[in-house]
Amino acid sequence: MNEGTTIRAIEQRGLWWEEFETDVLYRHRPGRTIGEADNTLFSTLTMNPQALHLDAAWSETQPFGQRIVNSLFTLSTLIGLAVNHLSQGTTVANLGFSDVRFPAPVFHGDTLYAETVVREKRLSRSRPGQGVVTFEHTARNQHGTIIAVAVRSALMLCAPGDEPGNGGEA
């Protein structure tokens, strides 16, 4: 590059409220392989001594025949996998979670892949320049089995300088 030459810089960010499209599938990559240390650390950090997460010998006698990954770690990972793609630097706050379910267990060594569909969006009634987006996040393991689903509402920033979100519509 020559001295005095200006280059354009691109910084990774999530999507502004205006950029979200409903009924579009956003696939988040790369995935995340879950290890024994992840499960043990999360369970102990959150004061969850459930033997299904921590006691290998006892878990072998239970229906899954092995330890299962803490479901709240699974939920956190599912949401985390979507951050860079959807909300890095553009989210204000999570407003709530609903319809959280875990249809299949996660085991040590499983790889989680996430995808998101935006179910609805509207401008905030009380916060100009912001809008509410309802996401449906789904996690699948390396075999394509759905292992977690969560519906999440988040308060998102509108694009700077775009006035639609600054007018208090909806």
Domains in the chain (CATH in brackets) are 17-166 (3.10.129.10)
Helix (H, G, I), strand (E, B) or coil at 89: coil
The predicted-structure confidence for 119-159, as pLDDT tens digits, reads as follows 999 999 999 999 999 999 999 999 999 999 999 999 999 99
Question: Token pair for residue 126?
Answer: 């009380």
pTM for this entry: 0.88
How do residues 83-116 score in pLDDT, each as one tens digit? 999 999 999 999 999 999 999 999 999 999 999 9
Cite the beta strand spans of the chain per DSSP E: 25-33, 91-101, 111-123, 130-140, 146-157
